[in-house]
Structure 1
Amino acid sequence: MPVPKRCLTAAKRIFACSCIFLLAGCEQQPEPQPLKEPLENSHARHDAVDLSALCQNLEKNMKEINNQRTTFALEQVNHDLKVCLPLQPLAKQQQMLQRSNEMYRNFLQVSRTAPQQMAFEQYAFDIAQHPTIHQSHFEQLTIRDQYLLKHQGQAYVELADSASSNVHYRRSPYYLAKIFSPYMPEAERVFIENLALQNIEPAFANQSLRIEPFEIARRALFWEDYIRTYPQSTYRKDAQHLLYQYKLFLFKGLKKTPVSSNYADPQDVQASTIEELHKMSSLQHSELTRQASRFLQFLDMNGEQRIQSAGGQTGLSPWQQLELYLNLRNPAPHYKQDCFSDAICL
C-alpha cells in the first residue's frame, strides 16, 4: 500500500529537525568537570590520619582490657593489632607483644572463694570427662567463670590443664602465631609458629612425659637447627634452653617416666629411646648426634671405663657419669622462663 504524500512530508520535517538539534549538540561543548584526584587525595589523607590515630590509641586500649570486658572487646583489639603491626619495627612489635601478654593475663584473671575454686575444678573435670553433659553445679561458679566457659574458643581463650598448674584459662598458643608472627622477621616468625605447634598439647605434666621419644628427638633436632640457622634471633637464648630441656627428656626423662633405672646396659633403657638414638647417631654430624652416639657407647662401658670417662671421679651416680660423658651442660643455669605453655617463653 503506497504511503500518502503528506506522511512523507511530515517525516522529512521530523528528520530535519532531529539533525538540527544533533548538530547544535555537537557544536555546544560540555563544561569541563572538576578533577576527582584532589578529592581522592583528601580521602587518602583522612584514612592515613585515622590509621595513625588508631595505632596511637592501641596501647591505651590494650591497657583498658580487664576481667570485666568481653571477648568482643578482645577481638576488636586483636583486629587493630593486625592493622598496626605491619607498620611497626621489630622492637615496637616486641613491645606490643608484651602488652598483649599483660592484656590476656588481666582479662583471664578470676577471683574465687575456696568453694568456688572447688566448683570450678570439679566442673572442668566433669566437662573433660563428659563434654556433652550440662553440670548442675554450673550455677555455683562465679559470674566471670560462667561467662568465660560459655565463650571458650572466642578471642583465643581456652581452658587448659598445663604442665605447670592445674586446670586454668589460657590464651591459645595459636594467638601469637596468627596475630603477631606474620609481620615479624623470619627468625622470630619461625620460632613463634613452631613453639605454638609444640605447646598446643603439654609435653609433660605431673613429672610424666606425654610425648614419645620420636617426638622428643624431632624437637631437639629442630631447636639445634634453629640456633644454627638463626644465630642473631632475639629468641636465641630461649631456643638454647628448649634444646637443653629436650636433651634432658631424651637422655634422662622425668621422675615418673625415666629413660632408664640405672643405665646398666642397653636393656636397661626404653626400647623406643634406644631406637631413636640409633637413628640420630646416623644423621648429619652435630653436637646432638654426637651425644646420641656417646650415650650408646656409655651403655657398653664397664664400671672402670665409666669412672675414667668421668675424669677419674668416684662416687658419682650413673646419670652423673653419663652427664659428664655427654658434656651435657645447662647453657643458662639461672634461666627462669616457662617455654612450655605458649608460643614464646614467658
Structure 2
Amino acid sequence: MLVLTGCDKSEHRPVQEQKQSHQEISDVVDLTQLCKNIHKEMNDINAQRTTLALEQINQDLKVCLPLVQPDEQLTLLKLSTQMYRNFLTVERTPQQAKAFHQYAFDMAQHPTIQQSHFEQFTLRDQYLLKHQGQAYIELFDAGADSLIYRRSPQYLAIIFAPYMPEAEKVFIEHLAQQNMQQTLRDGALVISAQEVAERALFWEGYVRDYPKSRYIQDARYLQKLYAVFLFKGTPKTSVSENYRDKSSVTPDNLAEIEALTQLKNSALADQARKFIQFVQMSDADRRQLPAAANPSVQLTQYLQLNTEVLKDKRDCFSDAVCLSS
C-alpha cells in the first residue's frame, strides 16, 4: 500500500509542475504585453484624464522598469515627463487666468484663507487643486506671485531611480532631494550659504565619481553653477559689492568659504583659498590684475569661475532631472 501511494504522488507531480510552467509562461506573456502597451498608455494621457489613470501607469512602470535596458528606461523617463506636462496643461480665458493669478497672490499673502473665487477657475483647475498631492501632483510657488502645477521631484526618485544604474540613480535621488525646497525665487537665492557649499561639493564629487553618467553634462553644469552661487551669489543676492576685504563679504558665505580652505583634493577648496587671497590682496596687487576697474570681473577671472552658466536656460531646480525650457 505504501508503494502504491508513492507511485500516485510521483504520477501527479509532473502534472502539477506542468501547470506551474503554463502559469509562468502566461505571466511572462502578460508582462511583455503590458510593457509593450505602456508607451501608448503614456502618450494617451492628456488634460482630460484623471489622477487614477496616472497612478495606474505609475504602477505599470514599477513592473516594467526592472525588465528593460537602461536606454529604454531613459526613454520611459522622458515619456513620463511629457505625460505630466500634458496632464497638467490648463487652457484659461483671460478672466480665468486673472482669477488664478489672484488666487496665487492671495495664497502668497495668506496661505490658510479660503478662496471665494474658486468657481471662477476652469474645471481643470478646480480638479487639479482638489487632487493636488495625488499621483505626485504639486502646486508650486514659482515666484512673482505665480503658482504652477508640477510633478513632485520625488516622483522620479521613487518610480524610476530604484531600477536604474547607480550613476543615474544617485543623480536623480540627490537632485530630487535638493529640489524639494526652492533654490531661487525671482532671481534671488533662498537657500543658505551652507546648503550652497554642500551642493557645490556634492556635484564636484559626482563629476569625479561618475564621469560616464548619462547626466554628466547636467552635473558639470550644477558643479559650476553652485561654485558661482558660493563665491559671487546672484545679481539679486550678491556675496559682496566690491570684495575689498573680508568684512565686505556676507558673513555666512565667508564662513563656508573659510571652512572649505581646509579641504584637500578639491577644486572647490582651491577656489576657496584663492578667494581668501583675493579679498586680502593689496590695492597695488589688484592693479596688476586684468580688469582693474571691476573687482567682480577680477574675481571671476582669478578663481576661473564660469559665469556663463547663469545664462543657461535649462531648469535644474524643479524636478529630479534637468529640463529644457
TM-score range, shorter chain: over 0.9
**Is residue 292–residue 298 contact of structure 2 (8 Å, CA) maintained in 1?**
no
User: Which residue of the partner structure matches residue 234 of structure 2?
Assistant: 254
Could you say if the C-alpha distance between residues 106 and 165 of structure 1 is closer, same or farther in structure 2, counting changes exceeding 3 Å? farther
Deviates more, 1:256-265 or 1:152-161: 256-265
SS in 2 for 1:324: helix
Mapping of residues 154-169 of structure 1, within 5 Å: 154-162=134-142, 166-169=146-149
Could you say if the C-alpha distance between residues 232 and 72 of structure 1 is closer, same or farther in structure 2, counting changes exceeding 3 Å? same
Q: Calculate the TM-score normalised by the size of structure 1.
A: 0.87
Q: Structure 1 residue 333: deviation in Å?
A: 8.8
Residue 73 (1) aligns with residue 53 (2)? yes
User: Which residue of the partner structure matches residue 320 of structure 2?
Assistant: 343
**Is residue 161–residue 173 contact of structure 2 (8 Å, CA) maintained in 1?**
yes
**Aligned-pair RMSD on alpha carbons?**
2.1
Residue-by-residue CA offset, 1:45-78 (whole Å, 9 max, x unaligned): 1111100000000000000000000000000000
User: Which residue of the partner structure matches residue 230 of structure 1?
Assistant: 210
**Is residue 196–residue 230 contact of structure 2 (8 Å, CA) maintained in 1?**
yes
Aligned residues: 318
User: Which residue of the partner structure matches residue 104 of structure 2?
Assistant: 124
- The one-letter code matched in structure 2 to 1:83 is V
Q: Output the CA distance in 2 between the equivalents of 1:214 and 1:147.
A: 39
Q: Structure 1 residue 119: deviation in Å?
A: 1.0
Deviates more, 1:110-119 or 1:141-150: 110-119
SS in 2 for 1:162: strand
Could you say if the C-alpha distance between residues 164 and 232 of structure 1 is closer, same or farther in structure 2, counting changes exceeding 3 Å? farther
SS in 1 for 2:284: helix
Residue-by-residue CA offset, 1:138-166 (whole Å, 9 max, x unaligned): 00000000000000000000000136993
Mapping of residues 1-346 of structure 1, within 5 Å: 26=1, 29=4, 32=8, 34=12, 35-162=15-142, 166-308=146-288, 310=289, 313-329=290-306, 335-346=312-323
**Is residue 220–residue 247 contact of structure 1 (8 Å, CA) maintained in 2?**
yes
Q: Output the CA distance in 2 between the equivalents of 1:253 and 1:132.
A: 33
Could you say if the C-alpha distance between residues 133 and 314 of structure 1 is closer, same or farther in structure 2, counting changes exceeding 3 Å? closer
Could you say if the C-alpha distance between residues 305 and 67 of structure 1 is closer, same or farther in structure 2, counting changes exceeding 3 Å? same
**Is residue 220–residue 246 contact of structure 1 (8 Å, CA) maintained in 2?**
yes
Q: Which blocks of at least 5 consecutive residues in structure 1 are unaligned?
A: 1-25
Q: Output the CA distance in 2 between the equivalents of 1:66 and 1:55.
A: 20
Identity of aligned residues (%): 51
**Is residue 101–residue 145 contact of structure 2 (8 Å, CA) maintained in 1?**
no
- The one-letter code matched in structure 2 to 1:283 is L
Q: Output the CA distance in 1 between the equivalents of 2:47 and 2:69.
A: 30
Q: Output the CA distance in 2 between the equivalents of 1:28 and 1:301.
A: 99
- The one-letter code matched in structure 2 to 1:52 is T
Q: Output the CA distance in 2 between the equivalents of 1:126 and 1:109.
A: 22
Q: Which blocks of at least 5 consecutive residues in structure 2 are unaligned?
A: none
Q: Output the CA distance in 2 between the equivalents of 1:165 and 1:140.
A: 18
Rg larger for: 1
